């Protein structure tokens, strides 16, 4: 089989998106809007997965949406974020507002979940670290190998999200695109953040390059990101030279 190129992946996402959306609507008839966001919108030629925001009248069990997505049969990873109408989306709001594409439904409903998004705090970044620990615990108890791998990957990606929130807090911005955040950080934080991006978000989450000793590596990376958050917070409280 010939390898899938980046251009092929963008075409695959466009081809499969209507079927994925239809599967979601069959699984939850209360869905009010489906929004495509993330790299598949602002950099489709580089996208490795598809991010979807689903807004519904009443949220069902998470498994309803995951099962619907994978029943469509697409040959790439799909990440689904589900919220109820009027619920605040949080730090993803900026990404959806800036680079969201309405696939189905009411644009006004989308505005309702993405408005009034505050700049994240360092404490919120630390809370997302704990989300990673929760994913890890779920993974260790999951008998299904496919779901277990997904939970492990989400555990490491939560550490990346925590680092991204810390960068946003340091820069006092709603910007969520990690490339722009890295460009805005001073040395050496920019290089530390780029390394975190590659190790956790690209290698483990996107490329599925899980370490041999997953739990030990997760703890090492958790401490690494926790230190990054603390160092950024300390730097944010230090007056700049000449100020």
Q: Which of 68, 90, 114 is the last residue of a domain?
A: 114
133 located within any domain:
yes
Residue span of the structural domain in which 62 resides: 6-114
243 located within any domain:
no
Average pLDDT across the chain, whole number? 87
CATH of the domain at 202: 1.20.120
Percentage of the chain with pLDDT > 70?
89
How many domains, in total, are found in the chain?
2
Looking at residue 1, what is its pLDDT? 30
Looking at the structure, tell me whether residues 100 and 151 fall in a common domain.
Answer: no
For 102-124, the pLDDT digits (tens) are: 999 999 999 898 876 678 889 98
Q: Which of 114, 149, 173 is the last residue of a domain?
A: 114
Looking at the structure, tell me whether residues 106 and 138 fall in a common domain.
Answer: no
Q: Which of 61, 79, 114 is the last residue of a domain?
A: 114
Looking at residue 45, what is its pLDDT? 65
Give CA separation, 106 vs 3, 82, 84, 145, 234, in Å: 38, 15, 13, 37, 43
Looking at residue 33, what is its pLDDT? 97
For 53-83, the pLDDT digits (tens) are: 999 999 999 889 999 998 888 888 888 999 9
How far apart CA 190 and CA 201 sit, in angstroms, is 16
Q: What is the mean pLDDT of residues 9-19?
A: 84
Tally: H helices and E strands in the chain: 10, 4
How far apart CA 114 and CA 215 sit, in angstroms, is 35
DSSP 77-94: EEEEEEEETT---GGGHH
221 located within any domain:
yes
183 located within any domain:
yes
241 located within any domain:
no
Looking at residue 43, what is its pLDDT? 67
Residue 92 · residue 149 · CB < 8 Å: no
Looking at the structure, tell me whether residues 97 and 198 fall in a common domain.
Answer: no
Looking at the structure, tell me whether residues 127 and 79 fall in a common domain.
Answer: no
Residue 195 predicted with pLDDT over 90: yes
Of residues 228 and 97, which shows the higher confidence score? Answer: 228
How far apart CA 200 and CA 118 sit, in angstroms, is 25
């Amino acid at each position: 089989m010939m390898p899938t190129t980046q251009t092929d992946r963008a075409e695959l996402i466009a081809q499969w998106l209507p079927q994925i959306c239809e599967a979601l609507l069959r699984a939850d008839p209360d869905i009010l809007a489906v929004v495509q966001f993330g790299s598949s919108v602002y950099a489709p030629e580089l996208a490795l997965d598809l991010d979807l925001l689903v807004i519904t009248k009443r949220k069902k069990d998470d498994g309803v949406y995951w099962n619907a997505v994978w029943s469509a049969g697409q040959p790439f990873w799909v990440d689904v974020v589900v919220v109820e109408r009027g619920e605040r989306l949080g730090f993803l709001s900026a990404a959806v507002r800036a680079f969201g594409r309405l696939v189905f439904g009411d644009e006004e409903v989308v505005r309702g979940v993405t408005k009034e998004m505050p700049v994240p705090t360092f404490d919120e970044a630390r809370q997302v670290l704990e989300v990673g620990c929760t994913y890890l615990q779920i993974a260790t108890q999951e008998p299904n190998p496919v779901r277990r791998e997904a939970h492990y990957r989400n555990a490491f990606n939560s550490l990346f999200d925590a680092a991204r929130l810390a960068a946003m807090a340091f820069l006092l911005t709603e910007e969520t695109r990690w490339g722009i955040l890295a460009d805005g950080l001073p040395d050496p934080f920019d290089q530390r953040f780029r390394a975190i991006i590659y190790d956790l978000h690209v290698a483990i989450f996107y490329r599925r390059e899980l370490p041999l000793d997953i739990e030990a590596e997760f703890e090492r990376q958790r401490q690494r990101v926790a230190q990054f958050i603390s160092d950024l917070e300390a730097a944010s409280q230090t007056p700049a030279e000449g100020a």
